Structure 1
Amino acid sequence: MTQNTSGSVNISAKEPIAIIGIGCCFPGNANSPEAFWKLLRDGVDAIAEVPEDRWNLNNFYDPEGTKPDKIRTRWGGFVDKIDEFDAEFFGISPREASSMDPQQRLLLEVAWEALEDGGQVPENLASSKTGVFIGIYSSNYLNIQLSVSDRPLATY
């Protein structure tokens, strides 16, 4: 994609793209491209019952799905070690890290893994023609933090 002199974008232009690194974090302890491929190849079902250390499932589960603020499943895709975020490594205070969305913490870790996988030195990327493309879901953690209830903040 290029931009011409009039400021419009020319999407028909072809520019080379090189994927030089990858990082991932999937349920089923698939925390590398190789582990993810093995999970897929072996047909592993990475869906599991809500782990006890995540939340008390019985407080939120309604098998009929008719009660407000309840879930109707006991299962999900859960990633491991979300409580092992190294805030200091990323220059984040422990207090700030404890209020960050767990997905944001995982994003930082996986982006760093992709840089390492590609043999990239982050300091050398400033002002370079480098892009980072990210796939992520849901942003409901803020809603959980802001909701008025008797639930304590999750300490993932």
Structure 2
Amino acid sequence: MYYKIISTGKHNELLWENQAINDIKAFMQAVSVTYGLDFKLVFKKNSKYVKVVLLDAHPRETDNWRAEFQFRTCGKNNGGIFLKFIRFPVRLQGKGLGTYCVNWLEDLANKYGFKYIVFSAYNSADGFWRKLGYQYSNNEEFIQELYFSN
């Protein structure tokens, strides 16, 4: 798994639950203006799950291969963020959209006191993630501590 330590601050669960949706909506509006994509946002408070599907009218895309950015809280006291998906069709790659999304997620994590971001990624994306300061670990104990602890 890849990971990046974001903050040593204390996660504020109440602030996250009450204000994060506004930050997420503002982010999506910025993506819409900057990249010309509409979006569908799914935010399930109880599961701490956020799914953003970026939409456009490109006819070759199907519902299962749209630009997607999905994350949720994880770990002990929901102190981390698990990035479930960040994927874009080839025609949207190389335009800075992935970097924009990751930088925004890091800012969000820092604002709300999340300690880290963790995720799995394809080997072909290793250079992208390392360029953004992420590290790879296959240490089972470390991964358990980050992701699975409750």
Shorter-chain TM range is: under 0.3
Looking at CA atoms only, which structure, 1 or 2, has the larger radius of gyration? 1
TM score, norm. by length of structure 1: 0.27
Structure number with higher helix proportion: 2
TM score, norm. by length of structure 2: 0.28
Structure number with higher strand proportion: 2
| Higher relative contact order (CA closer than 8 Å, sequence separation 6+) | 2
